[in-house]
DNA sequence: TGCGAGATAGTTTTT
DNA sequence: CTATCTCGCA
């Protein structure tokens, strides 16, 4: 609504129709005031400048890695505004992640100041939610609909599969969910699938049934899943041309980033938004179209479309991304212009050469000629560890070296293929007192206790949501079991009322006195919280003894005229937490894990409070939307000054001075799962390409020759991608050939002189490791410098697995706490001493470290549990160690 | 109803 | 290895 008002700021006419085909040449600064240089074009190369100033119905910017596409995109938008070709409200810019969106917004604000207000800069999903919330009533939803994340979808599917007894046919929530997701990304629903399904195949019929019932349940729950957000918006536009017309008219300029990662549904959405408004719809518009908007045929011209992408960075095929969208763009959108950005401003030549060499092995791609004016820079560093711990140790040491050389922690990133690889890395980083953070991974909002609390909020916003409701019944445990739940759910379904109403009817349902009281108590709490969230006065007298004022008598007129102001989300949440005593109950359990959970809940309150401050009066629904759509909670502070750990997928769009790519092994990168898939390896290669091109100055490629997964240890072969990089570019500190010899595992005996065929101890060598010849070419590389390359293995003797694990968890928790306590790595972890908490160290002391051997303490900084010892080791030189957690002891 | 032990099964990337 | 589920018992 309010955005629409911006559409028509009284008299000021638009400069010229932005979509008048092919009008603008590259005449820079056409309307710029003072002549001379145009700040928006200044410093851009010709291709970039063209990408900023080109006008026409469609523009494809082929942007190689590091070619300044964000700059181009932001400048293009700013240029449109400044040249008066568009109002901010006519801009719709779509990015892939929220992080990219907020970064873009910031940069545009930097160029335009307040003039950037009113633009839609968001992800596909956020934009669609915004549209759907506004138009929900058009197709039988309520604007307070819930957004199901994949866990919610799975919970729903689980129920359905169980009801249909489909599990015996091999249907699981996971495989069914991903199949449904795939279909939805192709915009096909249950009926479409049924039309093509094989009627005689019981599995197919059953799947149709599951799919149908899933869609039905979603609707009954007033919920959308992730894929629906896009798909339903498309359906909305197709079935309601008048609604579509509103958006087609409004958004005159559509800009899409990372276009190579769009799937079919997203493509369809773009198509819908870039259709002209036909005359019969033009007539129905409110406010009516002005003459300037309408062309000779009585239509409103199609919006202009700008897409930016790089087919070499397409890494989301598994999610339905269709590379054809970008490859066939010119054919798709007639009159499209193509601008190629090929100069790389990010990386050194060595890094770029490696990237080009790797990606060059993908056959079906258009050649690009990425080049840089930078020098060669440092060589890429390679390292092969004996184990993943050894690899991690190398990473930690190199990070410290870099740090000593003046590279800030915040300029360093460590990438990996799978989230499970973080463990070894985290352990070593903690021990080395390197501040780090993990992006993505186990997300804050996926934690059980957070989901519990969120279930209350969700249920308040949407009392028809069975998933949220069912979750909150059992959290905390209060004696409402499956039996009672089923009874309430049945009642709810029969009467077609909300779950909250069903609970209020509990007295009539023949529950025992205790249960009845519990249920009505809970119903009243939800009711109270709902009123609060809606901005209605809390019922009657102060809390404490719940007054008689039950639901039905809620129509007191007192608040009728006072404008309803939604209560701060944090207050609602606080009410829930206080009344349910969730936090207290966790604390009472005296388990450190539960203590952490309690803290998480407190953090959730803090998050909500922050949301309230940033979005005053936005209300519960906005909060829920943000939570379900925001990926990693802590994207926000890039300034935290810590090393960043993330998967390579998460890394897309980011850049760092120094980058470590870990686990560069066959089976991991490329991942085993991808090897059999068609095009799988190509996609992995693009992933590798993305990883490499994130690095500005320094690139480290590391691997391990053995890797522990699912319990036992297996031999790992170097990735084929390593072979694709010219040997001259890599400086091997320890090459694969030096470590694996002939594919055996020399697990512990590395101090033994090489060549002597060390004992192939422990694990069965060569299991499943059909000898590729990958390792052969590496044998020749040199050993690199002495010193830090060779040290004892760090494998902690795995005597007692369980206690070692517990120990590690505890250590990790403490260390995280320490990091969280304030900016980088300040003071404090109190009391709870561990390992060496009370170890006294003074300069001059000799100590022994499990990994590094003996060394001499040169200094101690920090206080309490944050004490950091500076030690010069005989073998590896200076290291910083967190005294409390390091495996060190004084040598007498 | 709620808890703990034990068995089991599944392991990629994410808005 | 680990997360999830089932089963039996209090």
Active site residue A258: yes
Measured between alpha carbons, how far is A55 from A40 in angstroms, rounded to an integer?
16
The 10 Å Cβ neighbour count of residue A564 is: 12
Residue A753 has pLDDT above 50, yes or no: no
Picking from A141-145, A538-542, A667-671, which range would have the lowest pLDDT averaged per residue? A538-542
3-state secondary structure A214-250: HHHHHHHCCEEEHHHHHHHHHHHHHHCHHHHHHHHHH
Give the list of residues 6+ apart from residue A11 with CB closer than 8 angstroms, or none: none
Q: What is the pLDDT of residue A480?
A: 80
Measured between alpha carbons, how far is A443 from A130 in angstroms, rounded to an integer?
24
Q: A827: pLDDT confidence band, cut at 50, 70 and 90?
A: very low
Q: What is the pLDDT of residue A836?
A: 58
Residue A289 has pLDDT above 50, yes or no: yes
Q: From the CA of A154 to the C1' of C4: give the distance in Å.
A: 14
**Superfamily classification of domain A349-435+635-752:** P-loop containing nucleotide triphosphate hydrolases (3.40.50.300)
Q: Which residue is nearest to nucleotide B11 (CA to C1')?
A: A710
Residue A773 has pLDDT above 80, yes or no: no
Q: What is the pLDDT of residue A231?
A: 94
Active site residue A340: no
Strand B closer than 7 Å to the CB of A649? yes
Per the listing, tokens 């009533």 go with A137
Q: What is the pLDDT of residue A632?
A: 52
Let me know if A545 is exposed, middle or buried by CB neighbors in 10 A (0-12, 13-18, 19+). exposed
The percentage of residues in chain A with a pLDDT greater than 70, rounded to a whole number, is: 77
Instruction: To the nearest 10°, report the CA torsion of A533, A535, A541, A546.
Output: -20
> Which nucleotide's C1' atom has the smallest distance to the CA of A708?
C1
Side by side, the strands of the sheet bearing A656-661 are: A436-438, A643-647, A412-416, A656-661, A695-704, A380-385, A730-734
Q: What is the pLDDT of residue A199?
A: 79
Strand B closer than 7 Å to the CB of A440? yes
β-strand pairing of A846-849 with A853-861: antiparallel
Active site residue A342: no
In the CATH scheme, what is the code of domain A447-622+774-788? Answer: 1.10.486.10
Strand B closer than 7 Å to the CB of A647? yes
Q: From the CA of A801 to the C1' of B6: give the distance in Å.
A: 19
Strand B closer than 7 Å to the CB of A174? yes
Active site residue A816: no
Residues of chain A with CATH 2.40.10.170: 835-890
Picking from A160-164, A261-265, A635-639, A788-792, which range would have the lowest pLDDT averaged per residue? A788-792
Residue A81 has pLDDT above 50, yes or no: yes
Tokens of A280: 């019969």
Residues of chain A with CATH 3.40.50.300: 45-137+230-341, 349-435+635-752
Q: What is the pLDDT of residue A846?
A: 83
Give the list of residues 6+ apart from residue A840 with CB closer than 8 angstroms, or none: none
Strand B closer than 7 Å to the CB of A594? no
Residues A66 and A342: beta-carbon distance below 8 Å: no
Tokens of A174: 């996971």
Residues of chain A with CATH 1.10.10: 147-221
Comparing A892 with A48, the larger pLDDT belongs to: A48
Measured between alpha carbons, how far is A732 from A49 in angstroms, rounded to an integer?
41
CA A38 to chain centre: 37
Strand B closer than 7 Å to the CB of A419? yes
Q: What is the pLDDT of residue A791?
A: 28
Catalytic residue among A694, A698, A707, A733: A694
List the Cα angle A794/A796/A797 in 5-degree steps: 125
- What is the residue-averaged pLDDT of chain A? 77
Side by side, the strands of the sheet bearing A58-63 are: A120-123, A91-95, A253-256, A304-309, A58-63, A336-341
Q: A121: pLDDT confidence band, cut at 50, 70 and 90?
A: very high
We find that the CATH architecture of domain A147-221 is Orthogonal Bundle (1.10)
Residues of chain A with CATH 1.10.486.10: 447-622+774-788
**Most confident among A488-502, A827-841, A855-869 (mean pLDDT):** A488-502
Residues A597 and A449: beta-carbon distance below 8 Å: yes
Q: What is the pLDDT of residue A343?
A: 92
Let me know if A678 is exposed, middle or buried by CB neighbors in 10 A (0-12, 13-18, 19+). exposed
Best CA proximity match to A709, nearest among A767, A748, A651: A767
Active site residue A807: no
Best CA proximity match to A397, nearest among A424, A433, A423: A433
Comparing A366 with A396, the larger pLDDT belongs to: A396
pLDDT in tens, A352-382: 999 999 999 888 788 887 889 888 989 999 9
Residues A304 and A16: beta-carbon distance below 8 Å: no
Measured between alpha carbons, how far is A311 from A320 in angstroms, rounded to an integer?
14
Mean pLDDT score, A794-812: 37
Picking from A21-35, A240-254, A877-891, which range would have the lowest pLDDT averaged per residue? A21-35
The percentage of residues in chain A with a pLDDT greater than 90, rounded to a whole number, is: 27
pLDDT in tens, A326-339: 988 999 898 899 99
Which of residues 651-680 of A have CB within 7 Å of strand B?
A: 671, 673-674, 677
Q: A12: pLDDT confidence band, cut at 50, 70 and 90?
A: very low
Q: Which residue is nearest to nucleotide B14 (CA to C1')?
A: A319
Taking the CA of residue A421 as centre, how many other CA atoms within 13 Å lie in the half-sphere pointing to its CB? 26
Strand B closer than 7 Å to the CB of A588? no
Measured between alpha carbons, how far is A689 from A357 in angstroms, rounded to an integer?
9
Residues A206 and A171: beta-carbon distance below 8 Å: yes
Best CA proximity match to A270, nearest among A92, A39, A462, A29: A92
Comparing A598 with A549, the larger pLDDT belongs to: A598
Considering any atom of strand C, list protein residues whose CB lies within 7 Å: A 158, 708, 710-711, 798, 801, 805
Q: What is the pLDDT of residue A83?
A: 83
Q: What is the pLDDT of residue A788?
A: 31
Tokens of A144: 């307070």
Q: Which helix (H) or strand (E) holds A792?
A: none
Q: Does domain A45-137+230-341 have CATH number 2.40.10.120?
A: no
Comparing A640 with A753, the larger pLDDT belongs to: A640
Nucleotides of C under 7 A from a protein CB: 1-2, 5
Question: Distances in Å between the alpha carbon of A614 and those of A1, A134, A617, A636?
Answer: 20, 22, 9, 13
- Letter string b/e over residues A517-536, b meaning 16 or more CB atoms within 10 A of that residue's CB: ebbbebbbbbbbbbbbbbeb
In the CATH scheme, what is the code of domain A835-890? Answer: 2.40.10.170
CA A564 to chain centre: 35
Give start and end residues of each alpha helix (H) in A462-512: 466-473, 482-495, 499-504
If you write DSSP's letter for every residue of A355-368 in order, what string do you get? HHHHHTT-SSS---
Taking the CA of residue A265 as centre, how many other CA atoms within 13 Å lie in the half-sphere pointing to its CB? 25
Mean pLDDT score, A518-523: 86
Q: What is the pLDDT of residue A614?
A: 83
């Amino acid at each position: 609504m309010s955005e629409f008002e911006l559409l028509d700021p009284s008299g000021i006419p638009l400069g010229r129709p932005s979509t008048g085909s092919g009008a603008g040449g590259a005449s820079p600064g056409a309307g710029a005031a003072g002549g001379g240089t145009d700040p928006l074009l200044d410093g851009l190369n010709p291709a970039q400048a063209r990408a900023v100033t080109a006008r026409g119905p469609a523009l494809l910017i082929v942007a190689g890695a590091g070619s300044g596409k964000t700059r181009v995109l932001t400048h293009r938008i700013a240029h449109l505004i400044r040249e008066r070709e568009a109002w901010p409200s006519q801009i719709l810019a779509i990015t892939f992640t929220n992080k990219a969106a907020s970064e873009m917004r910031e940069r545009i604000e930097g160029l335009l100041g307040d003039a950037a207000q009113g633009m839609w800069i968001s992800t596909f999903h956020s934009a669609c939610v915004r549209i759907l919330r506004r138009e929900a009533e058009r197709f039988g939803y309520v604007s307070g609909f819930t957004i199901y994340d994949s866990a919610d979808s799975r919970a729903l599917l689980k129920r359905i599969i169980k009801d249909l007894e489909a599990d015996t046919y091999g249907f699981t929530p996971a495989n069914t969910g991903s199949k449904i997701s795939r279909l939805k990304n192709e915009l096909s629903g249950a009926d479409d699938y049924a039309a093509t399904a094989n009627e005689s195949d019981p599995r197919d019929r059953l799947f149709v049934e599951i799919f149908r019932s899933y869609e039905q349940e979603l609707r009954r729950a007033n919920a959308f899943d992730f894929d629906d957000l896009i798909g339903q918006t498309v359906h909305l536009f197709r079935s309601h041309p008048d609604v579509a017309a509103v958006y087609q008219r409004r958004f005159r300029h559509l800009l899409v980033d990372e276009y190579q990662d769009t799937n079919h549904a997203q493509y369809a959405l773009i198509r819908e938004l870039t259709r002209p408004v036909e005359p019969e719809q033009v007539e129905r518009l409110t406010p009516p179209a002005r003459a300037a908007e309408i062309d000779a045929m009585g239509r409103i011209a199609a919006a202009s479309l700008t897409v930016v992408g790089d087919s070499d960075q397409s890494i989301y095929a598994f999610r339905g991304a269709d590379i054809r969208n970008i490859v066939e763009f010119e054919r798709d959108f007639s009159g499209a212009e193509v601008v190629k950005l090929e100069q790389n401003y990010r990386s050194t030549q060595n890094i770029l050469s490696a990237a080009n060499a790797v990606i060059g092995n993908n056959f079906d791609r258009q050649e690009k000629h990425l080049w840089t004016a930078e020098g060669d820079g440092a060589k890429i560093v390679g390292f092969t560890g004996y184990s993943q711990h050894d690899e991690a140790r190398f990473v930690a040491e190199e990070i410290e070296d870099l740090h000593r050389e003046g590279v800030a922690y915040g300029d360093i990133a460590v990438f990996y293929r799978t989230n499970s690889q973080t463990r070894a890395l985290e352990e070593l980083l903690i021990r080395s007192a390197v501040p780090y953070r993990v992006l993505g991974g186990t997300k804050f909002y996926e934690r059980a206790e957070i989901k519990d609390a969120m279930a209350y909020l969700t249920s308040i916003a949407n009392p028809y949501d069975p998933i949220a409701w069912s979750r909150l019944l059992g959290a905390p445990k209060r004696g409402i079991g499956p039996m009672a739940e089923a009874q309430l759910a049945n009642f709810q379904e029969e009467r077609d009322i909300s779950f909250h109403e069903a609970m209020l009817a509990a007295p009539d349902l023949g529950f025992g006195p205790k249960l009845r009281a519990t249920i009505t108590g809970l119903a009243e709490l939800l009711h109270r919280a709902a009123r609060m969230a809606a901005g209605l006065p809390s019922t009657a007298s102060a809390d404490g003894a719940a007054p008689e004022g039950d639901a039905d008598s809620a129509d007191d007129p007192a608040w009728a005229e006072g404008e309803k102001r939604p209560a701060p989300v944090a207050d609602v949440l606080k009410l829930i937490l206080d009344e349910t005593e969730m936090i207290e109950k966790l604390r009472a359990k005296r388990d450190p894990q539960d203590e952490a959970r309690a803290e998480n809940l407190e953090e959730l309150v803090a998050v909500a409070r922050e949301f309230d401050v940033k979005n005053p009066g936005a209300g519960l629904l906005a909060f829920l939307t943000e939570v379900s759509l925001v990926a990693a909670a802590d994207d926000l502070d890039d300034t935290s000054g810590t090393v960043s750990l993330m998967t390579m997928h998460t890394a897309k769009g980011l850049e760092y001075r120094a980058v470590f790519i870990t686990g560069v092994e066959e089976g991991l990168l490329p991942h085993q799962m991808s090897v059999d898939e068609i095009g799988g390896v190509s996609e992995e290669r693009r992933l590798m390409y993305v990883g490499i091109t994130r690095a500005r100055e320094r690139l480290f490629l590391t691997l391990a020759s053995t890797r522990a997964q699912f319990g036992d240890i297996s031999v790992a072969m170097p990735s084929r991608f390593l072979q694709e990089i010219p040997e001259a570019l890599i400086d091997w500190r320890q090459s694969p050939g030096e470590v694996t010899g002939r594919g055996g595992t020399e697990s512990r005996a590395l101090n033994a002189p090489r060549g002597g065929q060390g004992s192939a101890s422990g694990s069965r060598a060569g299991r499943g490791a059909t000898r590729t010849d990958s390792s052969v070419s590496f044998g020749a590389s040199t050993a690199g410098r002495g010193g830090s390359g060779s040290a004892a293995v760090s494998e902690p003797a795995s005597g007692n697995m369980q206690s070692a694990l517990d120990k590690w968890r505890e250590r990790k928790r403490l260390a995280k706490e320490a990091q969280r306590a304030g900016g980088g790595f300040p003071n404090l972890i109190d009391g709870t001493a561990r390992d060496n908490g009370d170890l006294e160290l003074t300069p001059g002391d000799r100590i022994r470290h499990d990994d590094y051997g003996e060394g001499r303490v040169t200094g101690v900084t920090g206080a309490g549990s944050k004490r950091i010892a500076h030690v010069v080791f005989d073998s590896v030189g200076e290291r910083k160690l967190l005294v409390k957690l390091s495996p060190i002891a004084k040598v007498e």
